[in-house]
Amino acid sequence: MNRVHNFSAGPATLPVSVLEKAQSELTNYKGKGASIMEMSHRSTEYKEVNDQAVARLKELTGAGDDWEVLFLQGGASTQFLMAPFNFLSEDQTADYIDTGSWSAKAIKEAKLFGSVYVPFSSKDKNYTRIPTNEELNSSDDAIYTHFTSNNTIFGTQFQAEPETDGSLLVCDASSDFLSRPIDIDKYGLIYAGAQKNLGPAGVTVVMIRKSLMEKQKSVALPTMMNYQTHIDKIFNTPPVFAVYMVNYVLEWVQEKGGVSYFEEFNTKKADLLYSEIDKDEFYHGTVEKDSRSKMNVTFRIKDENLEQTFLSEAAESGLVALKGHRSVGGIRASIYNACEYDSVKTLVDFMQEFRNNNG
């Protein structure tokens, strides 16, 4: 295979073994004479896929019977709307920790439904850091506390769950879901777009604690925006192929050793890359060291005029999708679960050669 080293922030690289498995079943799923994409979402075959994916997600995250798992559409951006639509009323307050562009978008949506209190924002620092627990100034009686666990654009990540003074966490975990263990007991709702660590674009995983559902608004909600619509049933046609792929990615995560394996693996990759960035002043990171992401490594070159040359020469060497987000520029290497260690090592070798030729 002539595959590149893909550092895309999303849609991101997928495990080759999963792609090959899907390829082998693409036209004839388990001897049924049709693709899974051609089968009814009411079929026994798809129900098995859905049920397996739910069971695997619960096992990997430690979620028990108190949790519901949904496979919805619309991406995390729709969850920015859907979570407060279901749980935040005009006379209530939700806390939203502001650490980047995506949390800012979530705050904008939540304000349509109730009061939003921001216990911390790093916007004035250009989102270069994550707060310590001591810096969080939680409101009284927050119905929930929302945070974005990893920030793809700026390259920051919570190293652990924030303290909330008792309110359940609502988390946009799109870009680091299943990359490390979480303390599931602290959460009420977790949502994640699949196209980073879980599978292809097109499906959003939503996990909801049943005890949070008890706090759902009593007012009438639009059918498709009501979480209750999707619990215990597949209400409308889901993105069948995307869920099918998520199921196989979850199987792959299990076979590798689960979330604890990927915590160690991702740390190893990130340490290798950050060590090269910190070696001297030729490269430099863009965020504070104790806030650095292990999923999206962002950095600049001392002479920023060299960055386009870096990106062009990297692409010629098979190192692709390294351009930073258009809003911030620079260089970004996204090294999600399926990014191989060899890809990071190849990038580091290229960085060393580029420094030698241009330093």
Give the CATH fold of the 258-358 domain. Answer: Aspartate Aminotransferase, domain 1 (3.90.1150)
Has 73 been labeled as part of a binding site? no
Residue ranges of the chain whose pLDDT lies below 50: none
Positive or negative: CA dihedral 227, 228, 232, 237? negative
pLDDT in tens, 129-168: 999 999 999 999 999 999 999 999 999 999 999 999 889 9
**Quick check: 306 and 233 in contact, CB under 8 A?**
no
Mean pLDDT of the chain: 97
314 is in an annotated binding site: no
Quick one: CA dihedral 186, 188, 194, 196, positive or negative?
negative
Please tell me the distance from the alpha carbon of residue 293 to that of residue 323, in angstroms, as a whole number: 17
Q: Find out whether 52 is annotated in a ligand binding site.
A: no
What's the pLDDT score for residue 127? 97
**How far separated are the first and last CA of the chain, in Å rounded?**
34
Task: State the pLDDT at residue 320.
Answer: 98
- pLDDT for res 232: 87
The domain ranges of the chain are: 16-256, 258-358
What is the residue type of 59? Answer: E
Sign of CA dihedral 232, 237, 242, 244: positive
Q: Looking at domain 16-256, does it have CATH number 3.40.50.620?
A: no
Residue 1 has a pLDDT of 66
- 3-state SS of 306-329 is HHHHHHHHHHHCCEECCECCCCCC
195 is in an annotated binding site: yes
Give me the active site residues, please. 102, 172, 196
172 in a known ligand binding site: yes
Tell me the torsion sign for CA atoms 44, 50, 55, 59.
positive
- For residue 341, CA distances in Å to 5, 21, 83, 178 come to 10, 22, 36, 17
Q: Report the pLDDT value the prediction gives residue 165, as an integer from 0 to 100.
A: 87
Whether the CB-CB separation of 8 and 152 falls below 8 Å is answered with: no
42 is in an annotated binding site: yes
| Dihedral sign (CA 218, 221, 225, 230) | positive
